[in-house]
Amino acid sequence: MPVADWAMSAAGMVCPKCGTPMNHQADKLVYPLTRAEAASMTAAFDGVLEEVFACPNCGWIESRRTTPVSEQR
Ligand SMILES: [Zn+2]
């Protein structure tokens, strides 16, 4: 598959250090750090979800907060 295809995938993440496609390692629940995050919490989660990715090449760990559906309006 061409690099551009997976790089543009919503589910994928590329290592910022070496450009290797990262493995989706875990989803973890974290507590909101800001009022905006707290306001975006749904009744279903007592916190916000954070996706964790690991680079198989250099071992870099990257994480990102998932965007709540309610903020996409
Ligand atoms: Zn890497």
Confidence of residue 7 (pLDDT cuts 50, 70, 90): very low
More confident residue, 22 or 65: 22
More confident residue, 51 or 35: 51
pLDDT of 70 over the 60 cut: no
- For residue 31, the enclosing domain spans 3-72
Mean pLDDT of the chain: 75
Is-contact 59 16, C-beta < 8 A? no
Query: Which residues are in the CB-under-5-Å shell of ion ligand 1?
Result: 15, 17-18, 20, 55, 57-58, 60
Confidence of residue 59 (pLDDT cuts 50, 70, 90): very high
9-32 core/surface letters (b: 16 or more CB in 10 A; e: else)? eeeebbbeeeeebbeeeeeeeeeb
Confidence of residue 6 (pLDDT cuts 50, 70, 90): very low
Domain count, the chain: 1
Q: What's the CA-to-centroid distance between 36 and ligand 1, angstroms?
A: 31
